[in-house]
Amino acid sequence: MIKGAAEEDSVLVCIPVNLMEEWMVKFPSWKKCVMTTIWLENHQAIPAGSGSAGKIV
């Protein structure tokens, strides 16, 4: 389950997992977009200098 709050009117696009896997193999640009988005989300969530980067909690 994914929960979120939007600050303005938004559109949520849901893509079935089986298509995600297929598209990541078929379309390198899609894979780059997905992986970049995941990387950015994870790195924005960790404050710089927190010392928690790279640690498994």
pLDDT at site 34:
87
pLDDT in tens, 4-56: 788 999 888 888 988 988 999 999 998 999 899 888 888 875 665 555 555 55
What's the gap between Cα 35 and its chain centre?
Answer: 7
Whether 4 is in a domain gets the answer: no
**Domain membership of residue 23 as a residue range:** 15-42
Is it the case that residue 57 has pLDDT exceeding 50?
no
Please give the pLDDT value at position 37. 87
In a domain? residue 47: no
CA atoms within 13 A of residue 17's CA, in its CB half-sphere: 0
Q: How many domains does the chain have?
A: 1
The verdict on residue 10 lying in a domain is no
